[in-house]
Amino acid sequence: MSESLLERAADEFRRQYGLPAAFCVRAPGRVNLLGEHTDYNGLPVLPMAIDRCIAIAARPRDGRRVRAVALDWGHEIESFELAPAIPKHPQGHWMNYIKAGMQGILAKLCPDEREGMTGCDMVIAGNIPAEAGLSSSSALVVASAMTLLHVHHRTVGRLTLAEWMAEAEWYVGTRGGGMDQAVCLLGQPDHALQIDFFPLRAQPVSWPKEYAVVLCDSGVRAKKSESALRAYNFRSAECRLAARLLNQALARNGWESQFQRLGDLLRPPFHFSYTEIRDLAESALRDTYRYSELVQALGEESRVIEILRDCSIPGDPGDSGPRFHCGKRYRHVAREALRVVKSRELLDRGEMEAFGELMLEGHASARDDFEISCPPLDQLVRIAMESGAVGARLTGAGFGGCTVNVVRRDQVKEFLAAVRSHPGLPPSITHPGMIFPVNAAPAAAYYPIS
Ligand code: NG1
């Protein structure tokens, strides 16, 4: 499938620019099997790179202009000049992801190198459903950065590039963690990855051949540019506020050191186990705080405002504004991290029924404590379980997008038929393009033009 995508990009390149492309880049999307909203808390995730990709055909050009055409988003040539601070396209525009990746590279170069950077022409093709929790955005960010690097014959280690790109994607307005960029650059066929953060590490986890991963798209579009972006950033702020509150609880128990993210508690001087982190998160926080209660607990309003501003939440929301569900959010994050660690052991032993149980627990926790599900996703999880899946849950940031389902490979046909013919689902979802198996795919790579 990705070969035809690369060919499509290369063919269209010649048509658009009247010259052959010099090379292609392919970058995969991902499905997250477990570990939702743990990455920016410094705790592990278990994603898999999938055989749905972004393909870019490119050719260097003189001067600092970058021109791009996206085949699935309008065929118009868009362009910008490479610069240390590239002005944004309107919020939500696909060009912002290209700008994010390229600006992310420029940011890491010394001024002389940055000055010497010339642009390129590009054609982009893709088959990752957009805004469906499958990381089409990070695939485009990574592919764009790799394009610029290749134009300048530069190589950067994959772990380093993944870290650069995690930060680079903040350009579009989400304060995400580093899962998507890391799995895009480090994924392996037939394997999921356990990814740990600060410092970034990835270990391949063999995926059992007898089981397939099937995605069911709810059709609800979690548009990063609108309310889902605000909701995502609000979760991130609640987690950071929870960290401040827990630091106080630790100080009351005699700890002098402070931590920033929950995952820091795994390391010196704390050396907590995952279970101890979970117990602390469950016992030391209240489910919900009003704004004034947070200010009182943290002692300084400016600290609260600083965290909110850092997560793109303007001003002082006051007590008439939203509540802060610090305890509920951290309960999800801490239990989810434990699920990732356990699930990895279960995969190693091939205990897929127990793995499926953890997926269902993860979904319930995402729905009830992290509150990122929605009725269509809950319904898809129920229907998947009635149709023979061993496990099912929402995947990615939530608020819409896809569910991920684990199904015995010899039962995939029956599963697809049962879900597609389910009377409870609207026809728009039962379409074959909305319910489809995926395979673990290799990491992003360069391809010569054939
Ligand atoms: P998606 O599903 O691609 O929006 C987002 C974040 C991840 C992670 C997940 C939730 C970005 C680029 N990605 O993924 O880092 O936090 O949500 O687990 O912000």
- pLDDT tens profile 62-78: 999 999 999 987 778 99
> Is the model's pLDDT at 315 over the cut of 70?
no
Measure 180 CA to ligand 1 centroid, in angstroms.
7
Burial zone of 440 (CB within 10 Å; 0-12 exposed, 13-18 middle, 19+ buried): buried
Residue pair 172/424 in contact by the 8 Å Cβ criterion:
no
**Which pLDDT value is given to residue 418?**
96
Q: Where are the beta strands (DSSP E) in 189-238?
A: 191-196, 201-206, 211-217
| Site of tokens 């009247």 | 18
The yes-or-no answer on residue 316 being catalytic is: no
Q: Given a cut of 90, is residue 322 above it in pLDDT?
A: no
Nearest CA to ligand 1 atom 9: 397
Calculate the average pLDDT of the chain: 94
pLDDT over 90 (residue 58): yes
Rounded to the nearest angstrom, the distance between the alpha carbon of 136 and the centre of ligand 1 is 11
At 249-287, the pLDDT tens digits run 999 999 999 999 999 999 999 999 999 999 999 999 999
Burial of 92 (0-12, 13-18, 19+ CB in 10 A): middle
Ligand 1 center to 267 CA (angstroms): 24
Neighbours of 313 (CB within 10 A): 17
User: Residue 200 pLDDT more than 90?
Assistant: yes
Tell me the CA–centroid distance for residue 410 and ligand 1, in Å. 31
Substitution site in 30, 33, 39 for ligand 1 pocket (most atoms within 8 Å of beta carbon): 39
pLDDT confidence of 355, banded at 50, 70, 90? very high
Taking the centre of ligand 1 as the mean of its atom positions, its distance from the CA of residue 399, in whole angstroms, is 12
**Predicted confidence (pLDDT) at residue 232 exceeds the cutoff of 70:** yes
Q: Are 370 and 231 in contact (CB under 8 A)?
A: no
Q: Which atom of ligand 1 is nearest to the CA of 179?
A: 15
Query: How much is the pLDDT for 367?
Result: 98
Q: Which of 50, 174, 217 is the best mutation target for the ligand 1 pocket, counting ligand atoms within 8 Å of the beta carbon and taking the most?
A: 174
Closest by Cα among 222, 68, 60 to 149? 60
395 within 8 A of 46, measured Cβ to Cβ:
no
Whole-angstrom distance, CA of residue 237 vs CA of residue 340: 23
Residue 336 in contact with ligand 1 by CB distance below 6 A: no
Answer whether residue 225 shows pLDDT above 60: no
Instruction: Give me the mean pLDDT over the 166-193 stretch.
Output: 95
Residues 51, 72, 112, 180: which is the catalytic one? Answer: 180
pLDDT class of 1 with cuts at 50, 70, 90: very low
Percentage of residues in the chain having pLDDT higher than 90: 83
* Confidence at residue 388, expressed as pLDDT on a 0 to 100 scale: 97
Distance CA 217, CA 371 (A): 19
What is the rounded distance in angstroms from the CA atom of residue 440 to the CA atom of residue 294? Answer: 43
The burial of 14, by beta-carbon neighbours within 10 Å (0-12 exposed, 13-18 middle, 19 or more buried), is given as middle
Atom of ligand 1 nearest to the CA of 136: 3
pLDDT of residue 263: 97
Task: State if residue 129 touches ligand 1 by the CB under 6 angstroms criterion.
Answer: no
* Cα 72 to Cα 144: distance, rounded to the nearest angstrom: 16
pLDDT of residue 306: 86
Determine which of 8-17, 123-132, 169-178, 209-218 has the lowest per-residue pLDDT on average. Answer: 169-178
pLDDT in the model for residue 2: 61
Over residues 187-196, the pLDDT tens digits come to: 999 999 999 9
Residue found by looking up tokens 């106080």 in the block: 248
pLDDT in tens, 78-109: 999 999 999 999 988 999 999 999 999 999 99
Per-residue model confidence (pLDDT) at position 304: 85
Domains of the chain and CATH, by start = 2-30+47-192+440-448 (3.30.230.10), 227-329 (1.20.1440.340)
C-alpha distances (whole Å) from 264 to each of 29, 40, 243, 246, 287 are: 28, 11, 10, 12, 22
**212 token code pair:** 């397939």
Dihedral, 244, 247, 251, 257 alpha carbons, nearest 10: -120
What is the per-residue pLDDT for 429?
83
Q: What is the mean pLDDT of residues 157-172?
A: 97
Q: Is the dihedral of CA 51, 54, 59, 64 positive or negative?
A: negative
